[in-house]
Each structure stands twice: as C-alpha cells, then as structure tokens.
Amino acid sequence: MALDKKDIAKRIAKELKDGFYVNLGIGIPTLVANYVPKGIQVEFQSENGILGMGPFPYEGEEDADLINAGKQTITSLPGASFFDSAMSFGMIRGKHVDLTILGAMEVSDKGDIANWKIPGKLVKGMGGAMDLVASADNIIVAMMHVNRKGNSKLLSKCTLPLTGLRCVKRIVTELAVLDITSQGFLLVERAPGVSIQEIKEATAGKLEIPAVVPEMQF
C-alpha cells in the first residue's frame, strides 16, 4: 500500500543521525520533525534565522517575532540561537548544515531538481531553495511519485525551470526510496505491499532495479 505524507516523513526521519543540523522545507519535510528517532539529538535550522527550532507554540504563547521560513509561529528550544539571513545562508553555503529535506515538482535521473516555477502559472519565487540545493552535500527530496495529472515526477530530464543541477541524493515517495547514481534512479526500498511493477510504471526516468528490493521499515 502506498504511503501517506506522514509515512513519507516517518521514513525520512530514519535518515536523521545523532548530531545532525537539519533544514526542513515546507510541506512534507516539516512533518519530519515529529518523528525524530529516540535517543538521537538533532537541531533544526530554519533559514529565516534560527537554529534549535522547537514545535509550534501553545495558544497564547505565540510570538510575532518568532516564526519559521514558512512564516508559521514556532518556539525555540534550549540551546537555540538567532542570526541574520546572511549568517543563515552562510551556514548553508558553507556546508555546516548536514541534511536538507525539501519538496519537488520534478527530479531528473541525474539529480536535477525543479521546484519553484511553472511557466504560465503564478510564480511565487524560489525563496531559499536555490541556495540550499546549490550548496548542501546531502539533499533528500520528499514528494509524491506522480503529479495530480498522474504523470511521473521522476524524469530523464526536468521539463520545468530548474532550481539546481545534479544535487539530489535521495528521493522518498509514497511508493519507494530511490538514490541518484550514475546509472539513474536506483530503487533502494519499496513501500509495504507496493510492487516493483507499480514503481516502474510511475517512474519515467532511467530506473535501476537490484535483484532484491526490501520493503521500507518504520
């Protein structure tokens, strides 16, 4: 059975390692914070200027001066720090952030990503996405395998304007975990009960299928 968004976030949370500084994008990535494995310490960075971001505030405790990059009210945890936007992107470009998790509209089998613009539709802007994908060594994309029209989002070449070139390392969708390798998309895991055939049909780019593809564990 295909995963829901919470399950995708749960699976990605297994990628978190003790001591990681992590930047979470808007959407499914934000949910990852709810599933940090027990026994490890990570700190979440939000590019508008906080490290040590905590959960949403309780009613009455919200502070207009404390938001995340999605403009939502948040809290800060013990050990948190605030900084300006140049420092924030300095720590991103300087590769001090260990893991970036973000959403995408399309990913190519070379690791190109498109997630900011659909020509002919309203363009909202790239925000910090271009800086993040151009700099981070460890980028995981959280997205659905196909778009609303049923077309694959895992392509041989992105059709939408690019956010970054050859930068994505791993993709987690409702159907599978895939790595970007020199051979294209390498199928690493499949969602419980999802067949390899289903994944093949939903993947337009080059797909490498090993002899054994284990089911995801949670």
Are residues 33 and 20 in contact, defined by beta-carbon separation less than 8 angstroms? no
> Which of 161/209 has CB closer to another protein?
161
| Active-site residue, 208 included | no
Asked if 218 touches another protein (CB under 8 A), the answer is: no
- Smallest separation (angstroms) from another protein to the CB of 204: 21
- Taking residue 147's Cβ as centre, other Cβ atoms within 10 Å add up to 12
Distance CA 140, CA 147 (A): 18
Q: Does 46 sit near another protein (CB under 8 A)?
A: yes
Shortest distance in whole angstroms from residue 185 CB to another protein: 20
Q: How far is the CB of 125 from another protein (least distance, A)?
A: 4
Q: Does 139 bind another protein (CB under 8 A)?
A: no
Q: Is 59 in the site for another protein (CB under 8 A)?
A: yes
Among the residue ranges 87-95, 100-108, 145-153, 204-212, the one whose residues contact another protein (CB under 8 A): 87-95
Q: Does 5 sit near another protein (CB under 8 A)?
A: no
Of 132, 82, 123, the C-alpha closest to 103 is 132
Chain centroid, CA 123 distance in Å: 21
Number of residues that bind another protein (CB under 8 A): 50
Q: Which residue, 41 or 72, is less far from another protein as judged by CB?
A: 72
Find the binder of another protein among 41, 72, 147, 183 (CB under 8 A).
72
Q: Output the six-digit token pair for 166.
A: 């050859």
Based on CB atoms, which residue is closest to another protein, 36 or 165? 165
165 binds another protein (CB under 8 A): yes
Q: How many CB atoms lie within 10 A of CB 181?
A: 15
Whether 71 and 107 have beta carbons less than 8 Å apart is answered as no
8 Å CB contact between 94 and 83:
no
Determine, following the binding rule CB under 8 A, whether residue 82 of this chain makes contact with another protein.
Answer: yes
Q: What is the number of other CB atoms lying within 10 angstroms of the CB of residue 121?
A: 7
The contacts of residue 155 (CB under 8 Å, 6+ apart) are 106, 107, 108, 109, 204, 205
Give me the catalytic one of 15, 47, 106, 174.
47
The gap between the terminal CA atoms of the chain, to the nearest Å, is 14
Among 5, 93, 169, 206, binds another protein (CB under 8 A): 93
Residues identified as active-site: 47
Contact residues for another protein (CB under 8 A)?
Answer: 46-50, 55-59, 62-74, 76, 82-86, 88-89, 92-93, 122-131, 134-135, 161-165
